[in-house]
Amino acid sequence: MLLGILPAVVERDLLAFGAALDELQARIGAAFAPVQGSIYASARSEGLIADLGRLGLSGTEQSSWGPTLYAFGFLFRFPFRARA
């Protein structure tokens, strides 16, 4: 996990960085799953994460317990905002 994140940063490899973040999110989320019902804070967050991935973004994650979500991409020319 961290052994994947740090080399990806040094090598400027966005896809490897995103994959390592995905693994980290899954492991951390698994610790919260008994409380929040999933590795994500809500079904809406889980759906938005999937949407961001389909847009081609990498390392699509949530902050701590959410509700903030974030993702990384090579080029994104417009802000992507979702409102509850």
Tokens of 5: 């994140």
For residue range 27-71, what is the model confidence (pLDDT) as tens digits? Answer: 988 998 998 889 988 889 899 999 988 888 889 988 877 788 988
Number of domains making up the chain: 1
In a domain, 63, yes or no: yes
In whole angstroms, what is the distance from residue 72 CA to residue 84 CA? 22
In a domain, 78, yes or no: no
How sure is the predictor about 79, in pLDDT bands with cuts at 50, 70 and 90? low
In a domain, 77, yes or no: no
State yes or no: pLDDT of 75 exceeds 80: no
In a domain, 6, yes or no: yes
In a domain, 42, yes or no: yes
In a domain, 24, yes or no: yes
State yes or no: pLDDT of 83 exceeds 70: no
Number of CB atoms found within 10 A of residue 62's CB: 22
Tokens of 64: 């701590």
30 and 7 Cβ atoms separated by less than 8 Å: no
Q: Give residue 24's domain range.
A: 2-72
SS3 assignment, position 66: coil
In a domain, 57, yes or no: yes
State yes or no: pLDDT of 8 exceeds 90: yes
